[in-house]
Structure 1
Amino acid sequence: MTGFSASAVGAETWLAAGYCLAVVGLAHIIDALARRAASVAEGGVSGGFRYHKDHDAWRCPQDQWLWPRSFDPDNRVTRYRGTPSICNACPVKDTCTTSSSGREIQRAVDSWPASEAARFHRGIACTVAVLGLVWPLGTALTGPGPDSLLVLAAAVVMALLLSVPLWSHLRRNPAFIPEGMAHRSLDDTVAERAAAAATLAHRRSSYRPDRREPGTETTS
């Protein structure tokens, strides 16, 4: 029985093996970029607000708290809102929110990579990893020598091992639903805001100060 000989392996076999591993590396890069984009987006949405897990609430730069108000089961986010009277009197309200119902912040209840967005991007990464196996498997079917088959098998096994972290969280995780919180979809929340704004506008338009111009007092 002779040992392994690299010189007996054809150029196409080396290219197929290298392609397989390179594509798995590309899949990891896609996953990492998606994770980074999600982190940047979450930081941009918070806008200086800091989430306190022990209170399940956000604290704004003006040292006020935003408490959980509702849970959206469709988008799997919890919505936090500040007290309207405090937000409306805030000196930096114009740069924070245009809502008269208080500043709102959303937080996804599913951490990466269990969230729907993460599952979508991770699915793409896994698809790319699978495509990386096509060339070496196709080359193996052409009947190369034993040394070439060994190289191809080693590349496929290594690619599968490297792709395990991508597949590990792709399966459906048990759905977590916060308890003791009203469930409102995005449409319900938008309708609620519109109703609150209409009520506030009606109150302002119907308010009449009880004043009389000087000299208009009536005498009996």
Structure 2
Amino acid sequence: MTPVELPAWLGAGYGVVLLLVAYGIDRLARRAQTRLQEQRSGGFVYHEDHDAWLCPEDQWLWPKSFDPENRVMRYRGSPTVCNSCPVKDTCTSSDDGREMRRLVDTWPASESARFHRGIACAVTVLAVTWPAVTALTVTGWTSQLLVLATALLVALGAAPLWAHLRRTPADPNGAVVRTLDESLQEREVVAAAVTRRRTTYASDRRSENAD
């Protein structure tokens, strides 16, 4: 049996490493986006069943508009509630109520996510090309078999990145988005079903408990 040549080992190794780099880029970009959204939330919690944000003072911010260009749903609190809030000065300077935003597209359908996913896919192309080209430079059949098998395995490993990218186009039809009227109708239904209504601010209740 012909021994495997050193260039074949290097070519196969580089292909595997580049595939791991591609997945690393995608994962790091996803984590960075998640952390950015958490930082921007500032203690606000999104409730998917209500399609609304709940602020740290136990007040709801309901959907007000949809930005189709940036694929963002905008939510806003009631001006009357926000302007009377004891922590308004540290929350918002607007007299129209605190605004929150939510990206309607899941990963990697948003534009920034698709950009990073595109970089990851480009790296996978190099991961497949490197061992494939190495097959042309080695002479032994065992060396050629190694690098070609590696190229095939790397291509199979990269397939989920490409497939997911194709299934999530960044266009208005790429994600199901409820209209504002639909969100408002659902809000009315949810509000009618809620038996416990919050009528005070969380900070006020904490002060009462402290006393």
Aligned to 2:117: 122
Matched residue type, 1:122:
R
Cα distance between partner residues in 1 of 2:178 and 2:5: 62
1:177 Cα offset (Å): 5.5
Q: In 2, are the aligned partners of 1:114 and 1:169 still within 8 Å (CA)?
A: no
Give the alignment's TM-score, normalised by structure 1: 0.76
Q: Deviations over 1:55-83 (max 9, x none)?
A: 10000010100000000000001000000
Paired residue type of 1:101: D
Number of corresponding residues: 177
Gap runs ≥5 in structure 2: 182-211
From 84, 91, 94, give the equivalent of 2:86: 91
1:18 maps to which of 13, 22, 31: 13
Q: Could you tell me how far apart the structure 2 residues matched to 1:143 and 1:178 are?
A: 54
One-letter amino acid of the structure 2 residue matched with residue 117 of structure 1:
S
| Conserved? CA contact 1:72–1:78, under 8 Å | yes
The amino acid of 1:165's aligned partner reads P
1:140 maps onto 2:140 in alignment: no
8 Å CA contact retained: 1:71, 1:178: no
> 1:80 corresponds to which residue?
75
How big is the shift at 1:49?
A: 0.6
The match for 1:180 is 179
Match 2:36 to one of 41, 52, 74: 41
Give the counterpart letter for 2:43 in structure 1.
G
SS at match of 1:58: strand
> Distance in 1 between the 2:46 and 2:178 partners?
19
Secondary structure in 2 matching 1:169: helix
Q: Which has the larger radius of gyration?
A: 1
Which of residues 15, 24, 27 is equivalent to 2:22?
27
Q: Deviations over 1:158-216 (max 9, x none)?
A: 1112112211211143433534328xxxxxxxxxxxxxxxxxxxxxxxxxxxxxxxxxx
Q: Which runs of 5+ in 1 are unaligned?
A: 183-220
Paired amino acid for 1:176: A
**1:90-111 deviations in Å (ceiling 9; x for gaps):** 1111111111111111001111
137-146 or 31-40: which moved more? Answer: 137-146
Q: Pick from 8, 31, 36: which aligns with 2:3?
A: 8
Alignment partner of 2:101: what SS? strand
Report matched runs for 1:63-78 at 5 Å.
63-78=58-73
Instruction: Report the residue type matching 2:179 in the other structure.
Output: G
Identity score, percent:
54
